[in-house]
Structure 1
């Protein structure tokens, strides 16, 4: 036996994994003894080495070991039980894992924590913390795959940044599929006394998937900043249209997202009012049975300014198997000056940019289980 120790932060994950494994193997556990019940442990381990220019106000570059270059590293548990009559119960618990340090995300199950029921003809309803329908319907239409390294679809890496809501808490979501069409709706409760709007979220999506074409149209609205005594919320509204079209092995990607932020309180640099329209266009194509190339551009029209950031981005996948691949990413972002002022922009969506241009390069490996 090899001795080992478990850090305090890792103990909850290990405890939960062991508990789930014990439940799965218990011969008298009703949910696990039924052949119609299923529980799965899954995850993504994504690690890489990244180089970025202009990482501080002095213009210094930086090397770093990065967790989640293509996709956020995660550990999850999901399951379902057949209830008969085409109905089944479902749940999903999913936690971010910061693999380079071993830490978890800001919330233990901050990515997914929901339970619901689904009918084979009518669709499914879920309650808890979950991804929005705008996120679910748009994600496959981004040629970089909503990658932190490097995509602007969920959030633009410019100041001020525009974004739509990726996840919601205290939420109710409906997803249904009817032939080639799919529909989704979500609402999150703000839980502020005497207000049905404060700190809430709303979303509606319609999609179509048939043959070579996939397309969707989404509306997303998020409200934040209210309190029990001041129930007005800052409103962030986005309309997103996107799609893909397959031409043999080559796939074309395109989309547009219009976002309007209407703040509560004094409007200033830290609390801006703006309208932004993001466009993206890209493609993917196989270079060999194991290698696929992706590339394209993101362009943001910052309404009312003459400084519209642009990012060129691309990646290569080398597939060892269906679950493990190497990848390389590259991007360059620039924003022209606007009336002698500097618009800050960058390649990494989760970092506040500090310069009007930035370049990023990365290599990594991802394994899914």
Structure 2
């Protein structure tokens, strides 16, 4: 009996120890802004409360379990929501839903719906703003990340010192527009970070979109500066032109924007930490697009995008921000109301937990 009791005690202790090595973290962002947009309708402006100026509001769960021997099990579930009215932000309830295993020696494998490698390289290596990778309400650069996420993905990530590599493959499974493959390489050491990535996505017609990007960032004291280039190349007659174009500034562009043979984007920006609480930053993007249709074959459309942000942190978790942006289109691409220029401004409040 004593031996049995001791065995049960040891088993109970080992189970308790195993549970002690597992952690579940609830996290989120709630961001609400008041935005004014000029030329939103023909000759008139628009005022609205938006569900996220700098960040899209979200609620997520991270799970991390230590399996011993340098192994960890990882899980992420993340839901996006419209914080202005409490509704769901997209058709997919879980914007991320993946499970993975990580080895201290061999890297990490993740399976499920997750960010693609174009989004990874943008946000990890040459993000447009130091304190927030991009402006949720005004993000032309994310329009070239080809959907930002893919379903049915297997991703492998390995990091050795200052070098990180990633490979992704998505099966597509016959009825999905997300059959994909691509790779990423990043070097970050001290004040310098440089990297590049490529991604190919195939639709159900067998038509492909190919994306490439490269860039660098530099940090020194209160200064942060970055520069990047990206391109998307579309097969004619594919189904993904409109889907990937809408990422430029939301679904507010005309039909000519969806007639795209190739789109290039060049961008640069800087932020400066004026005080422990106050950060200011500006960014410029230039997009150039060629077309397939005979009427536009000799036309190169251009988009000029400017943004300025001032962010004041009340604490590590709560900040208030002022954002101002300006857009000007030249060529066939315009806004859906046929205007070719538009200005905007946001005052918002954000809390992270």
Which of 194, 207, 215 is equivalent to 1:242?
215
Equivalent in the alignment of 1:90: 74
Which of 150, 166, 179 is equivalent to 1:184?
166
Task: State whether residues 112 and 131 of structure 1, in contact with CA within 8 Å, keep that contact through their aligned partners in structure 2.
Answer: yes
SS at match of 1:52: strand
Task: State whether residues 233 and 263 of structure 1, in contact with CA within 8 Å, keep that contact through their aligned partners in structure 2.
Answer: no
Q: Using the alignment, how far apart are the partners of 1:244 and 1:107 within structure 2? A: 34
Q: Indicate how the Cα distance of structure 1 residues 32 and 150 shifts in structure 2: closer, same or farther if over 3 A, else same.
A: farther
Task: State whether residues 178 and 201 of structure 2, in contact with CA within 8 Å, keep that contact through their aligned partners in structure 1.
Answer: yes
Please state which structure has a larger fraction of its residues in helix: 2
Equivalent in the alignment of 2:348: 364
Equivalent in the alignment of 2:141: 153
1:60 matched to 2:49: no
Structure 1 residue 343: deviation in Å? 2.5
Equivalent in the alignment of 2:310: 316
Q: Using the alignment, how far apart are the partners of 2:329 and 2:201 within structure 1? A: 27
Structure 2 unaligned residues grouped into runs of 5+:
1-11, 242-254, 291-297
SS at match of 1:53: strand
Greater mean deviation of Cα atoms: 268-277 or 66-75: 268-277
SS at match of 1:139: helix
Task: State whether residues 31 and 81 of structure 1, in contact with CA within 8 Å, keep that contact through their aligned partners in structure 2.
Answer: no
Equivalent in the alignment of 2:266: 279
1:47 matched to 2:32: yes
Q: Using the alignment, how far apart are the partners of 2:261 and 2:16 within structure 1? A: 51
Q: Using the alignment, how far apart are the partners of 2:64 and 2:20 within structure 1? A: 11
Matches within 5 A, 1:117-128: 117-128=101-112
Equivalent in the alignment of 2:184: 205
Task: State whether residues 55 and 354 of structure 1, in contact with CA within 8 Å, keep that contact through their aligned partners in structure 2.
Answer: no
1:333 matched to 2:336: no
Equivalent in the alignment of 1:34: 19
Structure 1 residue 124: deviation in Å? 0.6
Structure 1 residue 353: deviation in Å? 6.9
SS at match of 2:286: strand
Q: Using the alignment, how far apart are the partners of 1:285 and 1:307 within structure 2? A: 33
Q: Indicate how the Cα distance of structure 1 residues 146 and 265 shifts in structure 2: closer, same or farther if over 3 A, else same.
A: closer
SS at match of 1:153: helix
Equivalent in the alignment of 1:171: 153
Structure 1 residue 115: deviation in Å? 0.5
1:129 matched to 2:102: no
Q: Using the alignment, how far apart are the partners of 2:55 and 2:19 within structure 1? A: 34
Q: Using the alignment, how far apart are the partners of 1:31 and 1:169 within structure 2? A: 36
1:110 matched to 2:94: yes
Which of 183, 198, 215 is equivalent to 1:219?
198
RMSD: 2.5
Q: Using the alignment, how far apart are the partners of 2:201 and 2:94 within structure 1? A: 18
Structure 1 unaligned residues grouped into runs of 5+:
1-26, 156-161, 227-231, 346-351
Please state which structure has a larger fraction of its residues in strand: 2
Equivalent in the alignment of 1:78: 62
